[in-house]
């Protein structure tokens, strides 16, 4: 596209941020937290996909998290509710987007209403057993922009997930 210099600069930025994030996670030496990610498009009445490999699985692994979907689904697919409860995730990520025509979705991204997103997220915590999960008790339940796992900006999400202090705000 005739923008070689810009492409190289962006690649360098990405590489630098990812390497810095990996180094910070390693230096922290924290015990890996169990992480559950769910595609929050259809609302809490229907279990959305989780990711055993690729997409969010790669970001979780990069920052030293213990992805509870690994080994349960090949690439993506829903996890049994009983399995999620038994795994006791310490971090829950609800992957949302700007989906049109998805009234139950956790809507995030450009033009999203933070209060509406919080309301949709709270509905997930009414699922049977979810209020007792470590992530719910500690408030470590987050909306995350689903398209971010497929973009050059995924380093921002990796940095957020890799820093428990940033998630506690």
Domain of 15, CATH number, reads: 3.40.50.1980
Of residues 150 and 146, the one with the higher pLDDT is 146
> pLDDT tens digits, residue range 90-141?
999 999 999 989 999 999 988 899 999 999 999 999 999 999 999 999 999 9
Band (pLDDT 50/70/90 cuts) for residue 164 is low
Q: Distance between CA atoms of 134 and 10, rounded to whole angstroms? A: 38
Q: Which domain holds residue 46?
A: 4-167
Q: Distance between CA atoms of 105 and 148, rounded to whole angstroms? A: 17
Total tally of structural domains belonging to the chain: 1
Is 39 in contact with 49 (CB distance < 8 Å)?
Answer: yes
Start-to-end Cα distance in the chain: 40
Q: 3-state secondary structure string, 55-73?
A: CHHHHHHHCCCEECCCCCC
Band (pLDDT 50/70/90 cuts) for residue 166 is low
């Amino acid at each position: 596209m005739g923008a070689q210099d810009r492409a190289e600069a962006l690649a360098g930025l990405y590489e630098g941020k990812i390497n810095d994030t990996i180094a910070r996670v390693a230096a922290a030496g924290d015990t890996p937290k169990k992480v559950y990610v769910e595609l929050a498009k259809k609302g809490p009445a229907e279990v959305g996909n989780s990711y055993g490999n690729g997409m969010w699985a790669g970001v979780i692994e990069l920052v030293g998290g213990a992805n509870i979907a690994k080994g349960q689904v090949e690439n993506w697919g829903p996890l049994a509710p009983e399995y999620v409860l038994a795994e006791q995730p310490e971090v829950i990520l609800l992957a949302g987007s700007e989906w049109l025509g998805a009234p139950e979705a956790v809507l995030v991204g450009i033009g999203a209403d933070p209060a509406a997103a919080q309301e949709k997220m709270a509905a997930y915590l009414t699922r049977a057993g979810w209020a007792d999960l470590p992530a719910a008790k500690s408030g470590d339940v987050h909306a995350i922009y689903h398209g971010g796992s497929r973009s050059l900006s995924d380093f921002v999400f990796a940095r957020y997930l890799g820093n428990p202090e940033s998630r506690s705000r």
